[in-house]
Structure 1
Amino acid sequence: MSDDAYSAPLQAYAAWVADAGRDWPEAALHIARRALIDTIAVMVPGADDSAPAKLWPVVSAWGSGPSRAVARSETLSPPGAALFNGTAAHALDFDDNFDPAKAHASAVLVPALLALGDTRDASLGDLFDAYIVGLQIMGVIGQGVNPFHRSRGWHATATLGAVGAAAASARLLGLDTTRSAHAISLSTSLAGGFMSQFGSDAKPLHAGLAARGGVEAALLAEAGITAGTATLDGPTGLRTLMVGQDVEDLATAMEGSAEHGQTMRLRTEDIGTPLHITEHGLKVKRFPNCGSLHRALDGLLALMEEHQLETRDIERVLVRAPAAHLRNLMHEDPQTPAEAKFSLEYSLAAALHDGNVGLADYEPKALQRPEVRALMDRITKEYVDALESEFATEIHLTLTDGPVLQTAIAMPVGSKAHPMDDAQLWRKLETCLAAAPTFANADALMEELAALDLGKPIRQLTARMTAPKD
């Protein structure tokens, strides 16, 4: 089959994956380094969370291989390591967000690339290159289907994550245009996941499944397995099936009002321009919970700090936020840590009580604290029918002595507009490693992450993220 038999988007994306130069700006490489540090930081304590702990005996029984698993001494096959590490990376919901795709990007891309890197003579420079490429493809396709792909209930981490991981894996493997096209196309058959899984073990599993799917698609394509040529934009392709039959009407309606470049159309020119990793950046998480909470939490904590407020000073908290954000926060009376991460009421009550929200607030024993539960009744919300770029989340505090304070947060801490600096990111790493007291390699891992030279083998890093043998 000749290259011109592919649909225009698939051909354009595959050609860019195979042929794009590696002369990335230092700013892009710096963000990629930070993404690697942040993802490994959350993977280590995440490996012992509910979903990864249950997954481990299953995936380890499938057999060993050349790829390392985080916080474990045993090794796995590349797809198995991608599955386990991806699930661990998303388990705490402390991993970054990527706006063009409306997805958790690094929790999928990094585990996929680490798993493959263990099998090849690949360097950290190869990993960063493939990460930038995979993120770009995830973003470009995400812009072609969002915001309606996500607002209609698809978990983009699971769907677009698999496609981005396939592109990144194809790049790391050095696949040509034809095989890269097959890898991207194959990944659409391995992509799936609904937002109805939020608050369950299946939600973090989505990141692992997407990472595994991307690795498998690239390895299958490398072996010569072929795939359909119109799986992105054909009448039964991803764009139509994962948005709806009204996709063209929606795209027309979006003209002139797109946010994060989401035009609802799959562009086929200038695939690498603008470069998403620098143009849009990543939202590094300040809090270990759903990103839809972060603007409200930032605003609440900012008002408390500015006015030196304590819990007893606040009678009521009203949050007015885009409906798409509040629909993600569906658990008003959470009974599990996973549900609590998707609860506006619990998370803001914990912030009112503690003056912050951290990993300890989502431990099982913390959820039923009577003093926090009592505060949940003070939290109210109002759904606003607007895009997140059209309406900044408003926080209104009614004080016990009468006055009402308010603020509005358009972009959370950790976003490009309000970035965490490198020192703050490093403190997050230290906090996460401290939350994994049985992980004995913390010092060696931090030493390795402090010197991420492009020429170092990926294997040298993955060796430090494992648990020593007994």
Structure 2
Amino acid sequence: MHSDQAARRVRPPQPHAALSSGTFGNEERSVRNPTLTEALVDKVLDIRYDAIPAAAVELSKKIALDGLAVMHAGATEPLGVGRLTTAYVRASGGAPQASVVAGGFKTSMQNAAYANGTMAHALDFDNTSYPPNHPTSPTLPAILAIAEHHRLSGRKIIEAIVAAYEVQGRLRWAATGLRTGTGFHKPSTVGMFGAVTAAARMLDLDRQRTLMAFGIAGSRAGSLSINTGTMTKSSHSGHGARMGVEAALLAQMGWTASPDVFGPKGFFDTFMPGDSKPERLIEGFASPLWMLDPGVGFKAYPSNGFTQRPISGAIELHDAYGLSAEKIDRVQVIFPRFEYVNRPQPRSGLDGKFSIQYTTLVALLDGEVGVDSFTDERRFAPDVVELLPKVELQFDDAIPFDKLTMHVVVHVWLKDGRQLTKRIDRLPGWPGQAGVELTAEQRHGKFYSCTRRVLDHEAARRMLELVERLETLPDVVEIMDIARCDAKE
């Protein structure tokens, strides 16, 4: 078993992280011996804005801002993920209910959730959680689509974000057989249940209809990690977002499904038979909130989460020694065993996002890693083509394969005979002792860097201002009007 599926001790509620009112999981419900799914739904329905701690409210606004940022940047993904997604959704039609980011038009809530979810994950720049998961790209697009159409408040959105993150975190922890980098990908499995959680809360579904929504979502779960490095991986988040909305809407109409999707013969037994701990779904639910502990990481670079450490170290070496292609002889990266990121010759710039060899080399050569680091032009540029075969990924089984406790070492041999070494322990963008949290200035810099690809500065500034006071907004219509990028007359 990978260490990221290792048991996590359930601790007593912490004042800074638990529900301030202590009322999640109302013990006075009249239901006796509820099923696991019923117990989970009861806890989900007990989440209320007034009981959410201030730290979670602030974090939810950061999540919304980062999610909107990467949707805008994803619309311009170099290989065409955003362009093709927008064209596909436009051709699909649909009632004009919700905005397609950077698309200039509205479509149905389901289609908008799909498009925006796909673009949110297009650059692999969306945030992460622990165990490894992409909690925003399948959920925030679903939330915004429903909120825009029904003119729901910022507080309602925050409530839904908190609920979606809690269910995803608990489900990811319980799904011990859901391996990192292989088998089923997270956004259309764990992420889809986050999306349906959020959609059920946004639509104010009652207990029975929420159970049906979860059951419907169960029959729409699934995506394959083998598609990593292709456009299809991005669509996993879009699929999760769209199906979360669809499941909730069908349940609202009276559509039926199994009321116990997490019980016997359900999600766990189907996707990971014999390798799950379903009881973790409700153990210590919201005490503390999962989004606060273990927390949420905001990526510093638009590539796979496991590439963030070597990129950071390589940039430090570039800046300290003025590295260039003419100076570098060879490179070695010491890393925990993880074949998923062992891609010595990525097929494209997009595939390069998941290559330790490529991301480390580009960071050493350019001193930065951004959206344009993953174009085919950069991937097949002469300096990269010449040096990439000289970048070795060396697995060290003594390093734990655990996102928060692992470390990475980058060695660079120069043509003048010198050897440079950088060890990176802390994860860029992660809070607390395990990482180096992005400052407000860095988060805002990321936001403007992403949005300037489609928005002028004044429009982006206004969006940032609105999102940072999300809890005061009666609706998100203005935010989505900006995000839609209507053609100027």
* Global fold match (TM > 0.5): yes
1:215 is matched with 245
> How far is 1:406 from its partner?
3.2
Q: Write the letter of the residue equivalent to 2:371.
A: L
1:464 is matched with 482
Aligned to 1:323, the other structure's residue is in SS state: coil
Matched residues, percent identical? 26
Q: 1:152 to 1:371 in 2, by over 3 A?
A: closer
* Residue in structure 1 matching 2:173, options 143, 152, 156: 143
With structure 1 as the length reference, what TM-score do the two structures score?
A: 0.89
Aligned to 2:393, the other structure's residue is in SS state: strand
Q: 1:31 to 1:390 in 2, by over 3 A?
A: closer
Q: Distance in 1 between matches of 2:164 and 2:320?
A: 41
2:26 is matched with none
1:359 is matched with 371
* Residue in structure 2 matching 1:415, options 419, 430, 436: 430
Tell whether 2:196 aligns with 1:166.
yes
Q: Write the letter of the residue equivalent to 1:431.
A: S
Between 450-459 and 310-319, the greater mean CA deviation after superposition: 310-319
Q: Distance in 2 between matches of 1:425 and 1:52?
A: 23
2:472 is matched with 455
> How far is 1:58 from its partner?
2.3
Question: Which deviations, in whole Å up to 9, do the C-alpha atoms of 1:366-418 show, x marking residues without a partner?
Answer: 22110122121221112344422553222233344445443433332111121
1:242 is matched with 271
2:15 is matched with none
Is residue 145–residue 265 contact of structure 1 (8 Å, CA) maintained in 2? no
Report the count of equivalent residues. 446
Q: Write the letter of the residue equivalent to 2:43.
A: W
Is residue 86–residue 103 contact of structure 2 (8 Å, CA) maintained in 1? no
With structure 2 as the length reference, what TM-score do the two structures score?
A: 0.85
Q: Write the letter of the residue equivalent to 1:455.
A: T
Tell whether 2:420 aligns with 1:392.
no
* Residue in structure 1 matching 2:309, options 285, 295, 302: 295
Q: Write the letter of the residue equivalent to 2:233.
A: K
Aligned to 1:381, the other structure's residue is in SS state: strand
2:260 is matched with 230
2:124 is matched with 93
* Residue in structure 2 matching 1:123, options 153, 156, 159: 153
Q: 1:310 to 1:149 in 2, by over 3 A?
A: closer
1:206 is matched with 236
Is residue 357–residue 391 contact of structure 2 (8 Å, CA) maintained in 1? yes
Q: 1:323 to 1:238 in 2, by over 3 A?
A: farther
Question: Which deviations, in whole Å up to 9, do the C-alpha atoms of 1:195-230 show, x marking residues without a partner?
Answer: 100111101011100000111111112222222133
Q: Distance in 1 between matches of 2:304 and 2:142?
A: 23
Q: 1:198 to 1:277 in 2, by over 3 A?
A: same
Q: Distance in 1 between matches of 2:45 and 2:486?
A: 37
2:352 is matched with 340
> How far is 1:95 from its partner?
1.1
Between 39-48 and 67-76, the greater mean CA deviation after superposition: 39-48
Is residue 312–residue 428 contact of structure 2 (8 Å, CA) maintained in 1? yes
Tell whether 2:38 aligns with 1:7.
no
Q: Distance in 1 between matches of 2:295 and 2:406?
A: 21
1:41 is matched with 69
Tell whether 2:219 aligns with 1:189.
yes
Aligned to 1:193, the other structure's residue is in SS state: coil
* Residue in structure 2 matching 1:56, options 79, 82, 86: 86
Q: Write the letter of the residue equivalent to 1:443.
A: E
2:54 is matched with 26
Q: 1:458 to 1:3 in 2, by over 3 A?
A: farther
Between 176-185 and 104-113, the greater mean CA deviation after superposition: 176-185
Q: Write the letter of the residue equivalent to 2:390.
A: R
Q: Distance in 2 between matches of 1:45 and 1:392?
A: 29
Q: Write the letter of the residue equivalent to 2:315.
A: L
| Aligned-residue RMSD, C-alpha | 2.2
Q: Distance in 1 between matches of 2:413 and 2:350?
A: 30
Question: Which deviations, in whole Å up to 9, do the C-alpha atoms of 1:223-247 show, x marking residues without a partner?
Answer: 222221332242x22223222x331
Q: Write the letter of the residue equivalent to 2:401.
A: L
Question: Which deviations, in whole Å up to 9, do the C-alpha atoms of 1:88-132 show, x marking residues without a partner?
Answer: 1111111111123x2211111111101111121311121111001
Is residue 60–residue 161 contact of structure 2 (8 Å, CA) maintained in 1? yes
Is residue 349–residue 375 contact of structure 2 (8 Å, CA) maintained in 1? yes
Question: Which deviations, in whole Å up to 9, do the C-alpha atoms of 1:321-371 show, x marking residues without a partner?
Answer: 2223xx222532223222121222222221121111111211232221101
2:106 is matched with 75
Higher helix share: 1
Q: 1:57 to 1:312 in 2, by over 3 A?
A: closer
Is residue 441–residue 464 contact of structure 1 (8 Å, CA) maintained in 2? no
Aligned to 1:286, the other structure's residue is in SS state: coil
2:21 is matched with none
Q: Distance in 1 between matches of 2:472 and 2:233?
A: 35
Q: Which runs of 5+ in 2 are unaligned?
A: 1-29
Is residue 12–residue 269 contact of structure 1 (8 Å, CA) maintained in 2? no
Q: Write the letter of the residue equivalent to 2:445.
A: R
Q: Write the letter of the residue equivalent to 2:459.
A: A
1:381 is matched with 393
Question: Which deviations, in whole Å up to 9, do the C-alpha atoms of 1:40-99 show, x marking residues without a partner?
Answer: 111113113322311223222222321111012211100000000111111111111112
Q: Write the letter of the residue equivalent to 1:14.
A: V
1:17 is matched with 44
Q: Write the letter of the residue equivalent to 2:220.
A: L
Q: Distance in 2 between matches of 1:465 and 1:341?
A: 26
* Residue in structure 2 matching 1:446, options 461, 464, 471: 461
2:336 is matched with 322
1:424 is matched with 442
Q: Distance in 1 between matches of 2:180 and 2:106?
A: 35
Q: 1:80 to 1:5 in 2, by over 3 A?
A: farther
Is residue 466–residue 479 contact of structure 2 (8 Å, CA) maintained in 1? no
Q: Distance in 2 between matches of 1:465 and 1:206?
A: 22
2:286 is matched with 272
Aligned to 1:365, the other structure's residue is in SS state: helix
Q: Distance in 1 between matches of 2:298 and 2:362?
A: 21
1:256 is matched with none
